[in-house]
Amino acid sequence: MFSLSSPRAALFIRALLVFMIIPAAPKADALKVFDLKNGKTVYGTLKTVKAGHQQTLLDIARDYDLGYNQIVAANPGVDPWVPSEGASVIVPTVFVLPRGRLPSGIVINLAEMRLYYFESAGDGRSRFWTCPVGVGREGYSTELSIYTVFNKAEDPIWFVPPSVLEEDPELPPQVPPGPDNPLGKYILRFSRLSYGIHGTNRPWGVGRRVSHGCIRLYSEDIASLFPLVPVGTLVRIIYEPIKVGWAEGKCWLQVYQDYENKIDDPLATAFSGISACEEAIGPIKVDLKKIKKAVREQTGIPVPVARAERE
């Protein structure tokens, strides 16, 4: 039984206070950036850390610029609110680029709950930035489409939408800038549907389905992204729970939960992506057991499931 007087309960209550009421302090490890390289669609490294005293998985997630969904999926045997002190925690800072990426612009993969911003530099070099996001909750799923950033604002006023007022009539019609504003410090407004990419005063919602359709970022991530993105930037919203990429002669499979139940045959979808991988790196030798395991477990950790055949 879970007793309210137990040490476990005390830690759980502390976690709720930290993530639901008091915005955590910004972290330095935010908005990762990578140089794009030909023949490579997998970036980053997998890490393992030890949980500290009274440290939750959400603490660790924010330390490494991950969302709740990523840290929990990668650590299925670890209590997200009260992990054992010294417990090994996998930090999945490895990213397979989505198929629906743009040469230049923002791509948001709802299934992954992650944003990618691609930029083609004038000197021929290209790079991308990435960070976790919160997305539309059930009944308010963010619509898959292509948008543009038509407006940027610092210290935005939140004009409470009618749908939100219906749920909570005690809310004021508008909320001024400040700690009570759920838009945070910055917003990139979309061209339609009243969507936008913005900060949040509830960082525990990053990596969750919590919004009415907008895209929520940690305050440190939106602060870094805001000056990079010009008005007119394309924004593509996609849904790819199964991604396949290649790097260093290996084919990598990354599988997230298909929470919208859009994929009838996950294994067939995985093999379709692996076939595309073979077209990119040549003949490959496939590990069927690893493929089935990745599809079944859905940890979000990229797994090498095939390698280039040697002559």
Q: Spell 104-137 as b/e; 16+ CB within 10 A means b.
A: ebbbbbbbbbbbbbbbeeeeeebebbbbbbbbbe
Cα dist from 41 to 65, 95, 122, 251, whole Å:
20, 8, 21, 10
Q: Are β-strands 284-286 and 158-159 bridged in parallel, bridged antiparallel, or unpaired? A: unpaired
Other residues' Cβ atoms within 10 Å of the Cβ of residue 10: 13
Burial of 219 (0-12, 13-18, 19+ CB in 10 A): buried
DSSP-based three-state secondary structure for 257: coil
- Residues acting as catalytic residues: 198, 214
For 88, list phi and psi in degrees, rounded to 5. -75, 130
